[in-house]
Structure 1
Amino acid sequence: MSQRHTLQVFEQYQKARLAFVQSVADLATRPQNIETLQNAGVMALLRPLLLDVVPSVQQTAALALGRLANYSDHLAESVVRGDILPQLVYSLAEQNRFYKKAAAFVLRAVAKHSPQLAQSVIDCGALDALVVCLEEFDPSVKEAATWALGYIARHNAELSQHVVDAGGVPLLVLCLQEPEIALKRVAASALSDIAKHSPELAQTVVDAGAIAHLAQMILNPDAQLKRQVFSALSQIAKHSVDLAEMVVEAEIFPTAFACLNDTDEYVKKNCATLIREIVKHTPELAQMIVNAGGVAAVVNYVASTRGNVRLPGIMMLGYTAAHTESLAMAVIVSKGINQLSIALNEETEDHILAATAWALGQIGRHTPEHAKSVAVANVLPKLLQLYMRTDMSEDLQTKAKKALKNILQKCVYLPVLEPLLHEASPNILKHVVAQFSKVLPHDPKARRLFVTSGGLKKIQEIKAEEGSPLAEYINTINSCFPEEVVKYYSPGYADELLERVENHANKA
């Protein structure tokens, strides 16, 4: 009887421990409970249960700690201060797959908050243990370890280098090749987090053979996987010409352009970002994308998106046009200006408007033909308005002003310039008047139009400092017309005429 009673006591104690950790793990899923759990000293109570003789108690205690650490950096620091991490690292090597998953989750939850906390995870020896987990048979253990490594690597280049030095990259590339979609996703994400920091780290990812395996998955039906694949390829391609060329050589174009029409906004955006990161480097890379049909695809993308999703497409058109006259003409022929003009009128956020203004300036800066194509889309008044508005960001005002200058310095199409005479700031006015001074001496039709539209009258109203470039431009324009015509349109001339009439009448 006493023996049975003794066993019952232990059974009750075991059930109580399990019920406790299960309850804490459940309570930790709801933010409103976190402070109460913390005030009750839950960390100190969970720590010894990580060493419990019952595996389910150990695993659930680790799960509860992970959920708490995931909630805030303050709680994650409590895990570090409580000397819990070394026990978790030990368990990664010794325990079953369920515990390994839970332990890796805690390490990830601590590492995600800051570089300092991620360094604490490294300092307790977690990297080697996590990398060993990438070789486990069970895919869920690999997935949990990959999450943790990605969260460590994402903070900065130094932490990423620790993951590389621990031998993580080749094993992450192997995880890409596993059949489980969830593991593929998180492996692509971790490789992206490593590659983003520097050309050297991106090269390490490339040297492990990542590009070929990522390229095979660009049309996978799983949207979350495609997001991570395009992100990883973008983070590789952005650093240098050589790395961008390696991505292009994987023959993902024109196939990848289909993803610009994906139903998932992040797939679309990450695909557009990849194209942007490739074309920005050299005219040759931009030409390869153009030849594959990339400009037309991106113009359609800009037409069908809004806000920050639209932004990489806008920038791609700007980078492409910036390289050469022929590439800028490819953007014009694909009706890129029309869509940028629409974006200029539709978008409200300063950084998107700034990018759009910049892109239009890159198209219009090459030749008079390029400038005319931009000007006839009626974007100049809008650019001027953005430049003049004081409630806009300094970056937007600067980009709008630079775009106006780029276009005006090449634009000789007078009908679109004349409206600017009536509202331009002194800064912009100089460039507008300069263009008239170039064209009017050689074009009789333009001179006639300039008079009848009120342009000549407006020029006489401009107060220019004697000897200034603006005064010289005005003198050049005035010399194109008979002196009496210039005088007729000068301010005060009508009053002078009336006075002469009165004087003449008095004499009579």
Structure 2
Amino acid sequence: MSERRVLQGRTGPGRRGRDRGRDGGRSAAHPAPPRCRPQCWSSTGAPGRTSCRRWPSCRRGRRTSGRCGTQLFSTYEKLLCFSNSVQVPTSFQWNTWISYKLSLPGRIIKKIFMSKVDVKFRINDLKSFRLPRGLFSSWCNTGIISLLRPLLLDVVPTIQQTAALALGRLAYFNDDLAEAVVKEDILPQLVCSLSEQNRFYKKAAAFVLRAVGKHSPQLAHAIVECGALEALVICLEDFDPGVKEGAAWALGYIAQHNSELSQAVVDAGAVPLLVLCIQEPEIALKRIAASTLSDISKHSPELAQTVVDAGAIAYLAQMILNPDAKLKCQVLSALSQIAKHSVDLAELVVEAEIFPVVLTCLKDSDEYVKKNGATLIREIAKHSPELSQFIVNAGGVAAVIDCIGSCKGTVRLPGIMMLGYVAAHSENLSMAVIVSKGIPPLCTCLLEEHEDHIKAAAAWALGQIGRHTPEHAHAVAVTNVLATLLSMYMDTRSSEDLQLKTKRALKNILQKCTYLPALEPLLHDAPPNIMKYIVGQFSKVLPHDSKARRLFVTTGGLKKVQEIKAEPGSLLQEYINTINNCYPEEIVRYYSPGYSEMLLERVENYQPVL
């Protein structure tokens, strides 16, 4: 069989290798020419079975038996196709493959094309790198940023975009590499290219700016100084939604740090364009624009007012019922950041008719939607009794109580604080929380939660509920939560904030509590600074209640009071004297410490009369 027939049998149209035997059609006299279709590479560098079908030369069955220019051109086609494929081989794999496939002429031509392929391979490796954190310092020392900088000016657009994306990935993950990007003066180069390049490069450049600006106010300020804000604002007017999204995201990362940077974003004219972005149909763009408005609004009432003046509240309120959970989170966050600053801003948010629509978010399956919904209600309720009463009338208190009972952890925190704010305003609002059965969930949070700041918030809320009247304090005391508060206050493992909150809650409740069965257990363990409030309440109740006086003796309360060592003339000593005056002198002496020894001594010294 001639060489021509062997080749036709292996590669001819319609055959596609059907005539190949176990040796693939090879013979000792006629070795098989190299395949012109490249093969996918495994992690070991060995060719796999799956071959690329992109080359016309493969489909037409064009083959050459020698190492001619056609074969070399086919090799270059393979290089270019591989550079655009998903599974990109490393330079070592390419060197191994080409050295195996090509003879000396091929190796000479290989050097012509290898520079482009090498650059693209190495950048693609950076794009998808996964490097342990401990090795980033060595990356900084190798000067990788300075090596990538010239590639941003490469004549090939794909290399420019890929290099920018690699810089963004590096800067996003590590602040040292982000600082290296700033020190290499890459930012001005990116800013200049934002207005000149295509949409793919704009997205990559915006990603680099976002990656650098997220780490610290200093790095974000460096972005502002290089004139990036004006370029990013121009990108907000781009036709491509991806470019708008990247620009809005970068502006949000800059504005999140402090009011000065947020004011710079506002001065650049970003707010009206961001309001337009939340009206776009793309969900991802809506999310980022709402998040950026939230970051701008959170710093000061003036910045929040700027967002309000741009008409953002009406559009944000319309998206509360959007089915996308992530969008709802950002919308609720933006409204919360606006409402938190003042009564006027909170009233503007309420006037957008967010109630009772926002209450449905408290039953959402997404925990972050629940948390942000409760946060919005909290920020409105804290300002005035009128706003709190409006929330109560809308059913907000009951909805928040149900939310607290249905979730765990930090998701509970905004709802706990909301109940505390509502109860703090007035007796009627506090009673509304009690009637809605808000105390048991707060007690459950004290017992179940492991984080001290959540326990501290629950203790604070209980203190706000019970501080108004004896009736309010009684509602708290009957749940036996006072002993829990006291144990947390005395626990040395409790944080300083938790100890402070429990102490204030005990003080607020004890000063109004007249429910003695809840107070008596505290007499045995309370420290002196808490004891004075407990004894003070007994001194107010016992003079007017004979049954309480009898019970106080039988339960050992009177004996415990006699054991208290108070400083003469102190307020605690006055309370003790008031309690002692409620009983006959012999009863007081009987329960005083050392009275039994005194009786025994009198027995010993007594002279019988015969």
User: TM-score, length-normalised on structure 2?
Assistant: 0.79
Per the alignment, in what secondary structure is the counterpart of residue 94 of structure 1?
coil
Pick one of 135, 148, 151 that aligns with 2:237.
135
Instruction: Give, in whole Å, the separation in 2 of the partners of 1:35 and 1:501.
Output: 86
Return the letter of the residue paired with 2:488.
Answer: L
In structure 1, the partner of 2:190 is 88
List runs of 5+ in structure 1 lacking aligned partners. none
Aligned pairs for 1:379-458 within 5 A: 379-458=481-560
- Structure 1 residue 500, shift from structure 2 partner: 4.3
- Structure 1 residue 499, shift from structure 2 partner: 4.4
Return the letter of the residue paired with 2:371.
Answer: K
Instruction: Give, in whole Å, the separation in 2 of the partners of 1:188 and 1:302.
Output: 26
Aligned pairs for 1:326-365 within 5 A: 326-365=428-467
- Structure 1 residue 15, shift from structure 2 partner: 4.3
Pick one of 284, 303, 308 that aligns with 2:410.
308
Instruction: Give, in whole Å, the separation in 2 of the partners of 1:56 and 1:309.
Output: 45
> 1:59–1:477: structure 2 CA closer, same or farther, 3 Å change rule?
same
Pick one of 417, 422, 425 that aligns with 1:323.
425
> 1:22–1:448: structure 2 CA closer, same or farther, 3 Å change rule?
same
- Structure 1 residue 345, shift from structure 2 partner: 1.2
Instruction: Give, in whole Å, the separation in 2 of the partners of 1:371 and 1:288.
Output: 25
In structure 2, the partner of 1:215 is 317
Return the letter of the residue paired with 2:561.
Answer: I
Return the letter of the residue paired with 1:440.
Answer: L
> 1:499–1:175: structure 2 CA closer, same or farther, 3 Å change rule?
same
- Structure 1 residue 11, shift from structure 2 partner: 6.0
Contact 1:27–1:33, Cα closer than 8 Å, also in 2: no
- Structure 1 residue 37, shift from structure 2 partner: 5.2
Contact 1:29–1:67, Cα closer than 8 Å, also in 2: no
Instruction: Give, in whole Å, the separation in 1 of the partners of 2:516 and 2:198.
Output: 78
Instruction: Give, in whole Å, the separation in 1 of the partners of 2:288 and 2:131.
Output: 22
More divergent stretch after superposition (495-504 vs 302-311): 495-504
Instruction: Give, in whole Å, the separation in 2 of the partners of 1:504 and 1:25.
Output: 101
Contact 1:357–1:403, Cα closer than 8 Å, also in 2: yes
Contact 2:245–2:284, Cα closer than 8 Å, also in 1: yes
In structure 1, the partner of 2:168 is 66
- Structure 1 residue 450, shift from structure 2 partner: 1.4
In structure 1, the partner of 2:34 is none
Return the letter of the residue paired with 2:390.
Answer: M
In structure 1, the partner of 2:579 is 477
Contact 1:28–1:64, Cα closer than 8 Å, also in 2: no
Pick one of 364, 372, 393 that aligns with 1:270.
372
> 1:27–1:360: structure 2 CA closer, same or farther, 3 Å change rule?
closer
Per the alignment, in what secondary structure is the counterpart of residue 450 of structure 2?
coil
In structure 2, the partner of 1:260 is 362
Instruction: Give, in whole Å, the separation in 2 of the partners of 1:36 and 1:499.
Output: 85
Return the letter of the residue paired with 2:575.
Answer: Y
More divergent stretch after superposition (10-19 vs 366-375): 10-19
Matched, 1:47 2:132: no
In structure 2, the partner of 1:106 is 208
In structure 2, the partner of 1:154 is 256
Instruction: Give, in whole Å, the separation in 1 of the partners of 2:565 and 2:140.
Output: 72
Instruction: Give, in whole Å, the separation in 1 of the partners of 2:230 and 2:420.
Output: 45
- Structure 1 residue 173, shift from structure 2 partner: 0.8
Contact 1:115–1:156, Cα closer than 8 Å, also in 2: yes
Instruction: Give, in whole Å, the separation in 2 of the partners of 1:139 and 1:7.
Output: 43
Q: Identity, % of aligned pairs?
A: 71
Matched, 1:177 2:177: no
Per the alignment, in what secondary structure is the counterpart of residue 411 of structure 1?
coil
In structure 2, the partner of 1:282 is 384
Instruction: Figure out how many residues of one structure are paired with residues of the other and give that number.
Output: 507
> 1:371–1:135: structure 2 CA closer, same or farther, 3 Å change rule?
same
Contact 2:319–2:331, Cα closer than 8 Å, also in 1: yes
Name the structure where helix makes up a greater proportion of residues. 1
> 1:28–1:347: structure 2 CA closer, same or farther, 3 Å change rule?
closer
In structure 2, the partner of 1:22 is 124
Give a deviation string over 1:219-276, Cα, whole Å, max 9, x none: 2111111111111111111111111111111111122112112222211111111111
- Structure 1 residue 327, shift from structure 2 partner: 0.7
Instruction: Give, in whole Å, the separation in 2 of the partners of 1:28 and 1:350.
Output: 36
- Structure 1 residue 181, shift from structure 2 partner: 0.7
Matched, 1:228 2:330: yes
Instruction: Give, in whole Å, the separation in 2 of the partners of 1:268 and 1:153.
Output: 25
- Structure 1 residue 348, shift from structure 2 partner: 2.4
Instruction: Give, in whole Å, the separation in 2 of the partners of 1:130 and 1:328.
Output: 49
Return the letter of the residue paired with 1:293.
Answer: G
More divergent stretch after superposition (380-389 vs 193-202): 380-389
Return the letter of the residue paired with 2:170.
Answer: L
Instruction: Give, in whole Å, the separation in 1 of the partners of 2:223 and 2:257.
Output: 13
Instruction: Give, in whole Å, the separation in 2 of the partners of 1:12 and 1:471.
Output: 93
Give a deviation string over 1:445-477, Cα, whole Å, max 9, x none: 212221222212222222222222222212211
Contact 1:34–1:68, Cα closer than 8 Å, also in 2: no
> 1:14–1:472: structure 2 CA closer, same or farther, 3 Å change rule?
closer
- Structure 1 residue 400, shift from structure 2 partner: 1.0
In structure 1, the partner of 2:266 is 164
> 1:42–1:484: structure 2 CA closer, same or farther, 3 Å change rule?
closer
